[in-house]
Structure 1
Amino acid sequence: MNAMTAECGTGPAAQGTAVLAGMMRLALSIRDLLDDESEEGRVAIACAARNRMRRFGLPRETGGARDITDPVLCRALALACLVLLGDLADPTDGATHFHRHTEQPDWAAAATAKALIGRHIFYALDRQPDA
């Protein structure tokens, strides 16, 4: 059993529900970052979010509307599906964290950048930075 299926029961229906819930949580975690990014930047953000999920577990539940007709959410969900399936190459070289190039979070000072894609700098961290 993996991180995507660990939250619900053990039967096939419960595992399917957990997988869909995990995909939606991943999509919601990247949704608000996609609007002003290039396609390469969108893929990089989705890959880094997937890498973080694989290393550190599912993202926290995020708020916000879940209107399935929202084109930004649909794009985020489609990207989440593609990166979870491994259908897109990871341009971040396994990055788990990122920030806009105009920002400098404290955790980034001690980290080595893996890639600069679109408006974000990507890093592969061994542990979650302190909030």
Structure 2
Amino acid sequence: MSTPLSWMARVSLCVALALSAAVATPAAAETQSQITYQTGSRAAMVLPQAQPVSQKDLQCLSEALYFEARGEGSQGQRAVAEVILNRVDHPRFPKSVCGVVNQSGQFTYKKTRIRERGAFARAQQIAKAALMGAPRNLTNGATYFHTGGVRPSWSKRFERTARIGSHIFYRTDRRLASN
């Protein structure tokens, strides 16, 4: 997508969210905290805060985004965050962010020293927004992903839902026929 179209899409999303928030009842709006979710240098959207963010979950999700997707743009990192949070909500996976991220055999990164402070700060910002209730509309419910450079055997068994940046996303809920 070209830069002007990408910018217009972000602005349109922000306007749509602002209009939907304006329709909400004033009582509901008063009882919810709000956060700003930065989607780049030009646009931001305000999201209701669902609950306080656990510092432990924030650290686990930030590290996962940094080590799994720091080379991706914001959208790619948000998509990886979606997968992790979709797993937390899925009955087959651990019920916490740290449980999902630290589950044996699931993520390929080896936790090493964080060398790029700016990239980690961006990952933290995206992780915080995700944990505070940012919309999960990029991966269509994906619970798995891999880079395009590999072809894991499990990818044939699941429904492909999206390709964002260098990652391909899948969900398990609808199994494909294995003939």
Q: TM-score if structure 1 supplies the norm length?
A: 0.70
Q: For 1:9-66, what per-residue CA distance to the aligned partner results, in whole angstroms no more than 9, with x for missing partners?
A: xxxxxxx8x9211211111112123332122212211211222233322221863236
Bigger proportion of residues as strand:
2
RMSD: 2.5
With normalisation by structure 2, the TM-score equals: 0.53
Cα distance between partner residues in 1 of 2:75 and 2:111: 26
The count of aligned residue pairs is 109
For the pair shown, the structure with the greater C-alpha radius of gyration is 2
41, 50, 60: which one pairs with 1:25? Answer: 60
The structure 1 segments of at least 4 consecutive aligned residues displaced by more than 3 Å after TM superposition are none
Q: Distance in 2 between matches of 1:79 and 1:30?
A: 8
Over 3 Å counting, the alpha-carbon distance change for 1:60 and 1:89 in structure 2 is: closer
Q: Aligned pair 1:43/2:78, yes or no? A: yes
Confirm or deny: 8 A CA contact 1:82 1:88 kept in the other structure.
Answer: no
2:102 aligned with 1:60? yes
Distance 2:147 2:74 in 1: 16
Percent identical among aligned pairs is 27
Q: 1:80 to 1:101 in 2, by over 3 A?
A: same
Q: Is the 8 A contact 1:37 1:119 kept in 2?
A: yes
Unaligned runs of 5+ in 1: 1-15, 127-131
Preserved contact between residue 26 and residue 50 of structure 1 (Cα < 8 Å) = no
Q: What amino acid maps onto 1:46 in structure 2?
A: A
